[in-house]
Structures are given as structure tokens and as C-alpha cells.
């Protein structure tokens, strides 16, 4: 008996996608622009899934019809799954990463959002494998971002069987079109990424001003979008804001008129009419406080990377004096150590023998009380700022200190964390730290091997 020819259900598949989009809009109106940002295209090499290249949503009508008959919730989740990939800029961030692990990390991050949205149109159950994975990840990061999950997967070094199990639990769409090498050039890829970043920014603004807190699960989407639209940070430029004017031994080219200098040489042979000034005013950092959160949520390796980056930037002679007055404080719910650093060699020695002290809950107030005591004792003469390396979760002082305070975070903290309005918040991921180290080393002609080992 001959096989019955399969009908072409392309038009029906398109109707299914329209239906899913409308139902999602009725429940999540703050995603209106993003839900309509992809045009529907049959084909694209997709047969058993959905796929996107950031411009179109590719589908197979027969497969969609079959899945819709089984569960319309599945098609809703699959549609929103693809949209969230684009909004969180997972496509553009794939370059340079291990493809299998990045794809899994992105799927897990998006599914964690969907599983946190309490809407009947998205209720896909709660499989134990996914629930177990979420629990393990949340023990190491406040927000389940693709970047954070990817770093964790790299550390786990999973076997092929374990990796396949996780892929089976989270697989929804085809990521084959994400390959940056298959896109039509880097310029187009950047335009596309900027388009989705703009859409995410508009969504974030709408949720924060009008829709935040309305509808169950909206905060899960907002937390992830905040991470996705975060701009890259130049940690070197950020540190320089704590500099104060200082007179240094160097020629000030801006205050010196070379016309009179060369005229004198021409007129008298070897006697210039004016001499270049021997000093100039630059902004340098001398007094500085580095505080390290040593609670259970902070690892020694992360602290070492943060200190190594700061050390590399301190080596820049154009920004920092050769003699410094740095205090490195370690604190969890109480002050654990106070180390005075007077030059960069002492800082390097400190990093070489660095050990994390503490491991309790986080209370930021002891650090500020201690710095106040140091100021009263005359330890600091021109303290401009304090940098606190932390996860952001802890008890903050209510009163603003008389100097700038920056909290450096490696992950966006949960929305439940309320930082005081006077605090400067800097979210700097590990790649950003490593990039700052390389750039500072290149700027000051430092061999990376000279830096302390991370």
C-alpha cells in the first residue's frame, strides 16, 4: 500500500503562529513590540522545530500542526522561547563560545523564565530534571542568565551522556541559524543586535514605569532583560573617576608655547626664550579603599580576578602614583581583615598570598564604620572613593558616606535587592574583567605573565 502523501500545511502553520502571538499578547502586553518583530517564513532548513536568524521565524507547517493538535501550550511556549532568545541577545553573544554549551545555557535561561510565568497559556508542567537544574544554578547566581549558566557548565565538565540529558530536557528550537559565520556579514549582525537591544530597552522601560508587578511572573522577564540591555563597562575609565588633581614631574605640553622656544633657538643658537614647565597637574589616585565581600556567595577565585584587574590598572603610570595609600578590607557580617598597601609591589605580594576570610552573611555597615575611624585617625588625606566587590545582597548603611561608593557586581542582583540611592552600581562580568586586564596591560606595555596568576 502506497504511503499517503503529506499535505502542505504551510498556511495552517502560519495561522497557528498568529494565534500563539495573539494569545501571548493578551497575557504579556509589555512584550507587544517584540512579539511582532519577526516575520514568519516557511522552510529555512527547519523540519522538526522552530528557528530564527534574528530577522524571521522559520517553521514547518506540518510539524507545527501536529504539535498544536497535541498541545497549544507547546506552540505558545515555543514562540515565546524564540522571542526571548532574540530579546536577550543570545544570537549575537554566541561568537567565541563552545556551541553546545552556549545553546544549552540559552535554552535553560529562557525555559527558567517560561517556567516562572504563571499563565495557563504557558503552563508546561514542572519536570523534575529542569527543577533540579534550576535549584543547583540558583545556589551560585541570583539571576539565571545564559552567561552565568554557561560559566557553570564550563566548570562542571559534563560527560556526553550528562550533556545529552540536559539538552533533552531543555531543547525547544533549532539554533543552527545562530552561527555568526552564516550571517551576511558582521555589520548586518551588529545592526540586528542593536535592533533587538532597542526593543528590549523599550520593553524594560515599559515594565519598570507602567507594568512592573502587574501579572504574575513579570519580574522574571524584567530581571533577564536588564542583564541583556546592560552596556559594556570600561572598568579602567570607571576607576579613574576616583582620582584627584596632583602635581607630577612631567612636561605640560598644553601650557607650553613651542613658538617662543624655537624662536629663541633660531635667534640665539642654543638659548630658548622660555623653558618648558617641569611639572603639570594630573588626576591621580592615592587614597583608596577596596572592600571585599567574603560571604558564602563570593568565591576566592572571583576575588582574585577582581584584584588582578585592579592591579593591572594600577600599574598604569598615567593614572596612579607610584606610592599609594590603599586599604584592602575583608568583611562578611563583621570586619575580618584590614591590610595597608603603600605601593604596587605590596599589592602584588598581597594577591600572591591572598586568602579569603569569613563566610557568613553580608553586612556592609562594618566597613563604612571602620573607614570612618581611619579618617578620624588621619590615615587618609584625600579619600575620594571606596569600591566594594560583592553580589549586592546584604545590609546597607542608611546614611551616605562623605566619599563616592561603588558596588562592583559580577551578576545583576535580584529585584528584591534594594540598593540605597547614593550607591554607584557597576555590573561587570568576567569577560569584561579579563578584557580590562588585557587592555591595561597593552596600554602600559605590561607582559601578562608579570601579573599575579588568577
The strand pairing partners of 424, in sequence order, are: 406
Give the model's pLDDT for residue 228: 61
235-248+284-450: which CATH topology?
Rossmann fold (3.40.50)
Q: How far apart are the first and last CA of the chain?
A: 68
pLDDT value at residue 396: 92
What pLDDT score does 81 carry?
94
Torsion, CA 374, CA 396, CA 206, CA 79, rounded to 10:
110
> Closest Cα partner for 297 from 358, 225, 220, 222?
358
**Three-state DSSP string of the chain:** CCCCCCCCCHHHHHHHHHHHHHHHHHHCHHHHHHHCCCEEEECCCCCCCCEECCCEEEECHHHHHHHHHHCHHHHHHHHHHHHHHHHCCCCHHHCCCCHHHHHHHHHHHHHHHHHHCCCHHHCCCCCHHHHHHHHHHHCCCCCCCHHHHHHHHHHHCCCHHHHHHHHHHHCCCECHHHCHHHCCCHHHHHHHHHHHHHHHHHHHHHHHHHHCCCCCCHHHHHHHHHHHCCCCCCHHHHHHCCCEEEEEECCCHHHCCHHHHHHHHHHHCCCCCCCCCCEEEEEEEEEEEEEEECCCCCCHHHHHHHHHHHHHHHCCCCCEEEEEEEEEEEECCCEEEEEEEEEHHHHHHHHHCCCCCCCCCCECHHHHHHHHHHHHCCCCCCCCEEEEECCCCCECCCCCCCCEEEEEECCCCCCCCCCCCCCEEEECCHHHHHHHHHHHHHHCCCCHHHCCCC
What integer pLDDT is reported at residue 365 of this predicted model? Answer: 93
Rounded distance between C-alpha atoms, residue 301 and residue 454, angstroms: 7
Which part of the chain is CATH 3.40.50.410? 235-248+284-450
φ, ψ of residue 337 in degrees (nearest 5): -160, 155
pLDDT tens track for 408-436:
887 666 656 778 888 888 877 666 666 66
- 8 Å CB contact between 324 and 343: yes
Residue-level pLDDT at 245: 46
In the block, residue with C-alpha cell 545529552: 164
Which stretches in the chain have pLDDT values below 70? 1-7, 180-187, 206, 208-220, 223, 226-234, 236, 240-285, 296-300, 315-323, 411-416, 429-437, 439-454
* pLDDT score of 2: 46
Which cell goes with 131?
527543577
Q: Are strands 335-343 and 320-331 parallel, antiparallel or unpaired?
A: antiparallel
Q: What is the pLDDT of residue 305?
A: 74
Using CB atoms within 10 A of its CB, is residue 388 exposed (0-12), middle (13-18) or buried (19+)?
buried
Nearest to 304 by CA among 256, 253, 355, 343: 355
Cα–Cα distance for residue pair 79/243, rounded to 1 Å: 50
- What radius of gyration, in Å, describes the C-alpha atoms of the chain? 28
Amino acid at each position: 500500500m502506497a504511503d499517503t502523501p503529506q499535505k502542505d500545511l504551510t498556511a495552517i502553520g502560519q495561522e497557528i503562529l498568529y494565534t500563539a502571538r495573539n494569545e501571548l499578547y493578551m497575557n504579556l502586553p509589555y512584550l507587544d513590540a517584540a512579539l511582532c518583530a519577526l516575520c514568519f517564513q516557511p522552510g529555512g532548513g527547519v523540519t522538526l522545530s522552530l528557528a530564527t536568524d534574528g530577522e524571521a521565524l522559520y517553521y514547518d507547517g506540518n510539524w507545527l500542526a501536529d504539535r498544536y493538535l497535541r498541545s497549544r501550550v507547546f506552540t505558545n511556549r515555543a514562540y515565546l522561547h524564540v522571542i526571548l532568545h532574540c530579546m536577550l541577545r543570545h544570537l549575537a553573544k554566541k561568537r567565541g563560545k563552545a556551541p553546545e554549551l552556549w545553546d544549552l545555557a540559552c535554552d535553560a535561561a529562557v525555559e527558567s523564565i517560561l517556567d516562572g510565568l504563571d499563565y495557563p497559556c504557558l503552563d508546561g508542567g514542572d519536570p523534575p530534571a529542569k527543577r533540579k537544574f534550576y535549584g543547583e544554578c540558583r545556589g551560585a547566581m541570583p539571576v539565571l542568565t545564559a552567561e552565568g549558566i554557561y560559566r557553570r557548565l564550563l566548570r562542571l565538565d559534563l560527560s556526553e551522556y550528562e550533556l545529552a540529558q540536559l539538552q533533552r530536557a531543555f531543547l525547544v528550537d533549532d539554533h543552527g541559524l545562530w552561527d555568526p559565520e552564516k550571517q551576511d556579514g558582521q555589520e548586518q549582525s551588529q545592526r540586528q543586535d542593536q535592533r533587538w537591544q532597542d526593543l528590549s530597552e523599550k520593553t524594560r522601560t515599559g515594565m519598570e514605569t507602567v507594568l512592573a508587578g502587574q501579572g504574575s511572573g513579570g519580574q522574571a522577564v524584567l530581571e533577564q532583560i536588564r542583564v541583556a540591555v546592560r552596556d559594556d563597562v570600561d572598568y579602567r575609565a570607571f576607576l579613574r573617576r576616583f582620582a584627584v588633581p596632583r602635581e607630577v614631574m612631567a612636561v605640560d605640553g598644553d601650557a607650553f608655547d613651542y613658538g617662543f622656544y624655537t624662536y629663541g633657538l633660531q635667534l640665539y643658537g642654543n638659548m630658548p626664550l622660555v623653558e618648558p614647565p617641569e611639572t603639570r597637574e594630573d588626576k591621580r589616585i592615592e587614597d583608596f579603599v577596596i572592600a571585599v565581600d567574603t560571604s558564602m556567595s563570593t568565591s576566592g577565585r572571583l576575588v582574585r580576578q577582581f584584584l588582578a584587574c585592579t592591579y593591572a590598572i594600577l600599574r598604569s603610570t598615567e593614572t596612579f602614583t607610584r606610592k599609594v595609600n590603599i586599604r584592602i578590607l575583608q568583611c562578611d557580617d563583621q570586619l575580618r581583615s584590614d591590610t595597608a598597601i603603600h605601593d604596587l609591589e605590596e599589592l602584588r605580594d598581597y594577591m600572591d598570598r591572598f586568602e579569603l576570610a569569613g563566610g557568613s552573611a553580608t553586612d556592609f555597615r562594618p566597613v563604612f564604620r571602620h573607614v570612618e575611624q581611619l579618617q578620624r585617625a588621619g590615615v587618609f588625606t584625600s579619600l575620594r572613593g571606596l569600591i566594594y566587590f560583592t553580589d549586592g545582597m546584604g545590609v546597607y548603611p542608611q546614611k551616605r558616606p562623605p566619599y563616592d561608593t561603588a558596588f562592583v557586581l559580577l551578576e545583576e542582583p535580584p529585584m528584591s535587592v534594594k540598593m540605597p540611592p547614593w550607591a554607584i552600581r557597576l555590573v561587570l562580568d568576567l569577560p569584561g574583567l579579563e578584557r580590562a586586564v588585557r587592555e591595561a596591560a597593552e596600554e602600559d606595555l605590561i607582559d601578562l605573565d608579570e601579573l599575579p596568576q588568577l
